[in-house]
């Protein structure tokens, strides 16, 4: 007894040929991969850098201390 495949064989072969013909890094081959692999980490890094810089500035000027 054999199971039917999840995706038709022709569609799978077409996708394989598409991905093998693209000369990019593996993690940037999909249509939304630039968002998840580049934009989100850059946004997190920028936010983190801003918060660290603001904390250092506040500590050096004594802003926001609890009395």
Q: Is 25 within 8 Å of 34 (Cβ atoms)? A: no
CA distance 54 to 34: 29
pTM summary value: 0.57
Span 47-62, mean pLDDT? 96
- Residue 1 pLDDT: 67
pLDDT digits (tens, 9 = 90+) for 4-49: 778 788 888 998 888 788 787 766 667 777 788 889 999 999 999 9
Count of C-beta atoms within a 10 Å radius of residue 37:
14
The domain ranges of the chain are: 9-61
Closest CA to 27 of 38, 16, 17: 38
């Amino acid at each position: 007894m054999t199971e039917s495949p999840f995706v038709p064989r022709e569609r799978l072969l077409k996708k394989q040929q598409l991905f093998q013909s693209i000369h990019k890094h593996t993690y940037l081959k999909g249509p939304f991969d630039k968002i998840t692999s580049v934009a989100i980490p850059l946004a997190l890094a920028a936010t983190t850098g801003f918060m660290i810089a603001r904390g250092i500035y506040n500590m050096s000027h004594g802003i926001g201390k609890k009395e």
